[in-house]
Amino acid sequence: MIHPILSIILAPFLFGVINKTKAFFAGRTGQPVFQPYFDLLKLLRKGAVYSRTTTWIFRASPLIGLISVIIAVYIISGVLSFDGDIILFVYLLGLMRFFTIIAALDTGSSFEGMGASRESWFGLLAEPVLFLALFTLIKITGCLSLSEMLGYITPQIWNQYGYALVLITAAILIVFLVENSRIPIDDPNTHLELTMIHEVMVLDHSGIDFAFILYSTALKFWVLGALLVGIVVPVHTGKLWIDTVSFLGGMFGLAVVVGVIESVMARLRLLHVPQVILAAGIFSLVALIFVVR
């Protein structure tokens, strides 16, 4: 696995890659690859505006979100690792979502309340799917810690449990798209409050707080992507540079895949999203049953 500092630096770059891919499909030149960094720097230089109806929750939530997702980066990189850290990992992301939701409710805006309701609904459905997939991985690898588990997956394991791992990958890909509010589930570029899910909850954040939120979104994308890439690209040669290059290649490949999905698919109707998550749940459940038997 890769050093956490490198992940923390490189995370916003993936959004640049996604935007370039989408621009390529649309026949545009698109914004520069480093645009997410410029956006972050611009926002960091600005001051934040707070509504008089908000409380300390509204101010604390971007920071808590950022801290919890940075701890998640350290867990998946293996720097912070102990038996059962997958539960901490999933619930750190849960904590981040919880604070985003209550900060959205704190503003008193009805649109944000709607977004909070949707986010909690989809999050509620996606969490058990992620856990089922991780349980299957525990059963396959026999490791209880996330980084050890990903380190254990080798081409031999793929040979032996390939059928289950394909299903788990599909399930985690769907969870990844749900958690990061990417296209078949939610359009991150939409600016119509009625249809937004994640973006609508952060409408009232500004300046430095909004920079934190954008940055934690990028890190969340990186963390869940690293889980996916760790399963699909099982390269553990022991040579640091080969492992790092293959992992980074996997991450950029994932960003391109997400860009392609966003270019060729329309977003689903809200009512169809639970069915897609249910399909992911069936995938991971069938994988679990096949592995456990």
Partner 1 sequence: MIDSLLMLIVLTNLFLLGSSSINTCIRLVAVQGVLLGILVLISHFSIHTIVISTGSIILKGWVFPWLLYRTTRGVNIHQNKPVIGYTLSLIIGVFLLIVSFWIGGRILLPNSSLLVTVVIFTSLTGLFLMTTRRKAINQVLGYLVLENGIFCFGTSLTQHQPLLVGMGVLLDVFVAVFVMGITMFRISEEFDHINTQYLSSLRDGQ
Name the residues that contact partner 1, by CB under 8 A: 162-164, 167, 275, 278-279, 282-283, 285-286, 289-290, 293
C-beta closer to partner 1: residue 32 or 162 = 162
- The tokens of 50 are what? 């707070």
C-beta closer to partner 1: residue 164 or 255 = 164
d(CA 261, CA 283): 20
Give the nearest distance from C-beta 282 to partner 1 in angstroms: 5
C-beta closer to partner 1: residue 6 or 278 = 278
For residue 274, what are the CA distances in angstroms to 84, 117, 261? 28, 14, 19
Give the nearest distance from C-beta 167 to partner 1 in angstroms: 7
C-beta closer to partner 1: residue 45 or 272 = 272
d(CA 130, CA 210): 28
C-beta closer to partner 1: residue 52 or 293 = 293
Three-class DSSP category at 239: coil
Give the nearest distance from C-beta 289 to partner 1 in angstroms: 6
Amino acid occupying residue 279: A
For residue 63, what are the CA distances in angstroms to 72, 90, 123, 160, 275? 14, 18, 20, 43, 33
d(CA 259, CA 182): 9
The C-alpha angle 173, 2, 15, rounded to 5 degrees, equals 50
Give the nearest distance from C-beta 263 to partner 1 in angstroms: 25
Give the nearest distance from C-beta 174 to partner 1 in angstroms: 14
CB half-sphere exposure, 146, CA atoms < 13 A: 27
